[in-house]
């Protein structure tokens, strides 16, 4: 077995370990949900009148208390498999680099490995003290999905790269871009949770307020209102204000890295292609994502847009980041067609 095969094996092992971790995180969250539902028996009526604070707003401190409803066993398994997976994946990335004789960020397969590595590492750091339900499940779910996609669809043999990629910028620019993507992933999960939690704290749900045109649809999904019993577990997560702060910090780190990606990319383009900016599809995608995240930072400080509404910008921004990685590499042709597919 050569190094390249060993690398692939390690990545498969990491994917498997992460799958176990995902299941454990899900069990943990299900347990929390179940307990939370039992503890608030029908206290939250399916229909919360607008303006009624509901019983949910009085639990600001609960996130700090030790939550008795957690499953110790599941958390233990989730954590240890999570850490093991990160280590295996790191091994897979390092052996891949050794097999190819260069920095392992030169094609989509390698981008995905490193991106998942960063996302799971950041998740581990964010959760070093306490597991945050939902964020763990969402990030781990995305990671497992990405690894599977990488192994089954993006895989290419490890080999050296063409002259245009033979530059230390392959390490700086691409490495930072992928790191940013990994950080944005966790930030996105935090923002989603923030919006859910905010909806519950403020008894704000589109599913319980009249929505005349799609009333049938609304009724079908009424059980899924964030204010309803299904989302009682939201009371076990940090409050929206803390989640906002956490999402902002992660997004800010991601944004600074993204800015660096943009500038580094321009410098590299100046060396390799003879112009620092040429509205290549990848450049456009990076620019659009950058502007959307800049809009997010502005929204946070604009009256009437902070909090929940600002988080919507994160959803758009993250979608652009993902599309920039997938659609632009696979569908559009441009100067960045280095995906190896």
Partner 1 sequence: MVRYRPEGLEDSFAAEADAPAAAPVAVPAIGVVGWLRWTWRQLTSMRVALLLLMLLAVAAVPGTMFPQRAQDATKVTRYLADHTTSGPWLDRLGFFDVYASVWFSAIYILLFVSLVGCILPRTKVHLSALRGRPPRTPRRFARFPAQGEGSSEDDPEAVVRAAAAVLRRPWLPLWPRYRVDVRDEGAGAWSVSAERGYLRETGNLVFHLALVGLLISVATGQMLHYRGQAIVVQGNGFANSVVRYDSFEQGTAFDPASLEPFTMQLDEFESRFDPVTLNPRDFTAHVTLTEPGQDPEKRTIKVNHPLDVDGAKVYLQGNGYAPQIEVRDASGKIAGGGKVPFLPQNQQYTSRGVIKVPSVSGDQDQIGIVGYLLPTAKQVDATTWQSIYPQPGNPLLVLTVWHGNLGLDTGVPQNVYELDESRMTQSVDANGDPVTLYVKLGETVELPDGLGSLTFSALPRFVALDLRYDPTLTYVLVFAVLAFLGLATSLFAPRRRIWVRAAPEGGRTVVTAAGLARGDDVGLQPELDRILAATLPETPDRPAGRRPDQLTTTQETP
**Measuring CA to CA, which residue among 27, 14, 246, 26 is closest to residue 143?**
14
Q: Quick one: which of 267, 291, 269, 292 has its CA closest to 279? A: 269
Q: Minimal CA–CA distance to 266: which of 172, 160, 182, 166?
A: 172
151 binds ligand HEM (CB under 6 A): no
CA distance linking residue 55 with residue 316, whole number of Å: 32
Determine, following the binding rule CB under 8 A, whether residue 101 of this chain makes contact with partner 1.
Answer: no
Residue appearing with tokens 């989640």? 243
CB of 130 to partner 1, least distance (A): 15
Considering the complex, what minimum distance in angstroms separates the CB of residue 17 from partner 1? 32
Helices (H), 41-107: 72-100
Of 105, 85, 87, the closest CA to residue 97 belongs to 105
Nearer to ligand HEM, 162 or 301 (CB): 301
As measured in angstroms, the least distance from the Cβ of 257 to partner 1 is 10
Could you say which of 63, 294, 326, 330 contacts partner 1 (CB under 8 A)? 294
Calculate the alpha carbon distances from 4 to 154, 177, 244 in Å: 15, 24, 42
What is the closest distance, in whole angstroms, from the C-beta atom of residue 303 to ligand HEM in the complex? 12
Cα 277 from Cα 286, distance rounded (Å): 12
Phi, psi of 192 (to 5 degrees): -60, -45
User: Rule CB under 8 A: is residue 159 a binding residue for partner 1?
Assistant: yes
Beta carbon nearer to ligand HEM, 195 or 262: 262
Residue placing its CB nearer to ligand HEM in the complex, 105 or 324: 324
Nearer to ligand HEM among residue 107 and residue 251 (C-beta):
251
> Between residue 301 and residue 330, which ones bind ligand HEM under the rule CB under 6 A?
301
In the complex, the residues that contact partner 1 under the rule CB under 8 A are: 58-61, 159-160, 162-164, 166-167, 241-242, 244-245, 252, 255-256, 259-260, 263, 266-267, 270-281, 284-285, 287-288, 291-292, 294-295, 297-306, 320, 328, 332
In the complex, the residues that contact ligand HEM under the rule CB under 6 A are: 294, 297-298, 301
């Amino acid at each position: 077995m050569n190094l390249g095969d060993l690398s692939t094996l390690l990545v498969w092992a990491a994917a498997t370990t992460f799958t176990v971790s995902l299941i454990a995180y899900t069990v943990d969250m299900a347990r929390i949900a179940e307990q939370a539902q039992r503890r608030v028996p029908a206290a939250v009526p399916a229909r919360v009148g607008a303006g009624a604070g509901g019983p949910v707003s009085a639990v600001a401190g609960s996130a700090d208390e030790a939550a008795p409803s957690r499953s110790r066993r599941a958390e233990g398994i989730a954590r240890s498999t999570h850490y093991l997976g990160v280590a295996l994946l790191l091994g897979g990335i390092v052996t891949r680099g050794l097999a190819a004789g260069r920095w392992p960020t030169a094609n989509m397969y390698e981008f995905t490995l490193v991106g998942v590595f960063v996302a799971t590492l950041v998740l581990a750091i964010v959760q070093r003290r306490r597991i945050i339900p939902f964020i763990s499940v969402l990030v781990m779910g995305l990671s497992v999905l990405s690894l599977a996609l990488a192994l089954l669809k993006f895989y290419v043999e490890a080999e050296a790269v063409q002259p245009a990629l033979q530059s230390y910028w392959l390490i700086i620019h691409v490495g930072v871009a992928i790191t940013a993507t990994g950080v944005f992933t966790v930030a996105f999960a935090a923002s989603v949770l923030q919006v859910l939690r905010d909806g519950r704290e403020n008894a704000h749900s589109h599913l319980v307020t009249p929505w005349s045109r799609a009333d049938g649809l609304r009724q079908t999904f009424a059980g899924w209102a964030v204010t309803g019993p299904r989302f009682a577990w939201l009371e076990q997560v940090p409050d929206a204000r803390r989640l906002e702060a956490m999402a902002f910090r992660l997004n800010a780190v991601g944004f600074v890295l993204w800015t660096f990606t943009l500038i580094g990319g321009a410098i590299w383009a100046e060396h390799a292609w003879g112009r620092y900016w040429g509205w290549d599809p990848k450049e456009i995608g990076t620019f659009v994502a950058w502007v959307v995240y800049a809009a997010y930072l502005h929204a946070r400080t604009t009256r009437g847009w902070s909090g929940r509404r600002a988080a919507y910008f994160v959803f758009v921004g993250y979608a652009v980041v993902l599309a920039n990685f997938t659609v632009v590499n696979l569908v559009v042709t441009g100067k960045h067609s280095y995906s190896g597919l």
